[in-house]
Structure 1
Amino acid sequence: MNQQQTADIPDTLIAQLDVAENIPAMRKLRIRSYELLGLTPDATVVDVGCGAGRAVAEMDEQGARAVGIDPAERMINLATERWPGADFRVADAYELPFVDAAVHGYRADKVYHALDDPARAIGEARRVLSPGGRIVLVGQDWDTFLIDADDPALTRTIVHARADMISAPRIVRRLRHLLQEAGFADVTVEVHAAVSTGATMLPVLADIAAKVQSVGAISEAQAKSWVAEQEERARDDRLFFALPMFITAATRP
């Protein structure tokens, strides 16, 4: 979803996000992102693209004063429903509702690939961060989904075609440079792999195939066959889907 678009969020996307959040590797990734933020009691931290708000609630539990930002009103309403008492606001990554140097931490998880101008968002992050404040960006490279399948050529077609539907599918490769250009210091990059071997990710794989078919990159028959194979693999405990996740962190001087 482009941050400039606030169209209705489908139930299927919310369900997929909920599934992803509960994968053990993704829970560990969130915890690592909080460590890199260096959360301290009463520190103000903004979670950009907060979705249904789990990270905001978890950071509040650690004593921070977290603010969740999302451009989609439905997501903010859902987050408020799930985590009453937490601070959620409708806004996008380009115009954060803070004065200069107002926050101690800035976090964005699986957001920057959906932005049409990531450099502008980083500039806005620098504006709202106080000196010494930390920025932590979590995301995937959409060209590096690792999926075992009988037809590797078709699988490559599916993965790359899905990546081509994203605003900035390979942004994680550029974030270190963009942060340096924006004047951030102590830039680090970590890679963490999330591996799924059961049926949990079948809806995600089916959604990828359906989206790629919708733009004509593969036929309906190819999509059905590929998804059927993944379903069979899940039944036989042969499914393998690995997602390298990148955490890029830096300090505002």
Structure 2
Amino acid sequence: MTSAREGRTQHGADAAGTDHADVEPRGTLARGRQVEAADIHGRDASAWRPTPGAPGHDFGSTVHAWGGAGGVRGRYARRMGRHERLASLAQLDRDGLVVADLGCGTGRTVRKLLETTPAPATVHAVDHGSDLDDDLLHDSRVVSRVADLDAPLPFDDATIDRIVSMNVAENLLDPPGFLRECFRVLRPGGLAVIGHTDFDTALFTSDDDALTRLLVDRFVGVVPSWQSRADGFMGRKLLRLAADSPFELADVRSWADPHRRFDEGSLAWKIAMGMLAAAADDEELSARAGGWVESVRRLADQGRFLFAITDVVVVLRRP
């Protein structure tokens, strides 16, 4: 078990279908398949050029924003009222519950857990990096823990009432082992809310369906040099993982809210920049991808654009 920092601190709404510019990572373990702009097969951000005929569009800087700390897979966690949904599915229906957010990032789900439950005894904010917002670090109800989620969880047996974990499973060496650890630390009757974006479901209105599919496939298949594993199909695999676990399946949900913006700062734009980055090692495909971005931008300007991507969540109960 790894726990570099632990201890109680001193003191004691996203609308569905909207886009916000002030997005942030879900957590270092949950950042997913990010491609650093300076590490795309040796090409830095300056190597990215606008499509001919589209001066002024700096794809390089946008790809950099997609790839670094808090890349698009993590930034997506800000969208679609996800945090409210996760907190609601955790069924925080009584005082004194002990809750753990595994892969907490800066703590957006932690905030919703605190708002949803009448009076939680403790919310453990767990991640393998220390990214929790300062105000949460100074909340007496929050315990920040740094831990390796591929290792045994830093809790004794049967000490947790609720677990929430979003976009963590694809990064784990042993997802079934992670679920067994969740089972171990939950009290009988406790719930684990395990969710993941299925990145292969990214849906773009475009004028070239075949090219869109090719770019999504490249995006889903990229594993950056600094990350040892990733799985863009993890969302659809959660139910199978749940069926093979010791848990009872209490519920399964999915959602894919519509987004109509395609400008810098929108979710669809960030995903598209990830697709550009994933195609960077293929000169011909990169050029086609740049033209694809411009065509999608035109559709959005005309009010003819739609983007969506699917989240899947399983709610598991320990008997």
Q: What is the TM-score when the length of structure 1 is the normalising length?
A: 0.84
Change (3 A) 1:205 1:177: closer
> How far 1:82 sits from its partner (Å)?
6.2
Distance 1:237 1:83 in 2: 43
Query: Per-residue deviation at 1:155?
Result: 0.6
Does the CA contact (< 8 Å) of 1:145 and 1:159 recur in 2? yes
Q: Secondary structure at the match of 2:164?
A: strand
Mapped pair 1:153 → 2:207: no
Which residue of the other structure, out of 185, 199, 202, is the alignment partner of 2:248? 185
Q: Number of matched residues? A: 245
1:126 aligned to which of 153, 163, 183? 183
- Would you say the 8 A contact 2:28–2:70 is kept in 1? no
SS in 1 for 2:149: coil
State the distance in 2 between where 1:15 and 1:83 align.
23
The answer (yes or no) to whether the contact 1:47–1:68 under 8 Å persists in 2 is yes
2:134 to 80, 94, 105: 80
How does the TM-score come out when normalised to structure 2?
A: 0.68
Q: What residue is the counterpart of 1:223 in the other structure? A: 289
Q: 1:210 aligns with which of 253, 262, 276?
A: 276
Alignment pair present for 1:96 and 2:153: yes
Q: What letter matches 1:88 in structure 2?
A: S
Question: What's the Cα RMSD here?
Answer: 2.9
- More RCO (CA 8 Å, sep 6+): 2
Partner residue in 2 for 1:138: 195
CA contact (8 A) 1:212 1:218 kept: no
1:89-146 deviation digits (Å, cap 9, x = unpaired): 2213233211111111111112222323211211111111111110111212122111
Distance verdict in 2 for CA 1:210–1:45, change over 3 Å = same
Greater share of residues in helix: 1
Q: In terms of Rg, which structure is larger? A: 2
- The worse-fitting range, judged by mean Cα deviation, of 236-245 and 148-157 is 236-245
Residues 93, 124 of structure 1: 8 Å contact kept? no
Kept in 2, the 8 Å contact 1:134–1:251? The answer is yes
Distance 1:233 1:245, change over 3 A: same
Partner in structure 2 of residue 194 of structure 1: 257
Q: 2:98 is matched with which residue?
A: 44
Provide, for residues 152-180 of structure 1, a one-character-per-residue CA deviation record: whole Å limited to 9, x for no partner: 11110111111112512222222223223
Q: Secondary structure at the match of 1:174?
A: helix
* Cα offset, 1:72, TM superposition: 2.4
Q: Summarize the Cα distance change of 1:232–1:69 in structure 2 as closer, same or farther, 3 Å threshold.
A: same
> Match of 1:93, SS?
coil
- Contact persistence 2:260–2:300 (CA under 8 A): yes
Deviation at 1:246, TM superposition (A): 1.1
> Kindly, what percent of the aligned residue pairs are identical?
26
Deviations 1:191-219, CA, capped at 9 Å, x for gaps:
21121101322431332223212343962
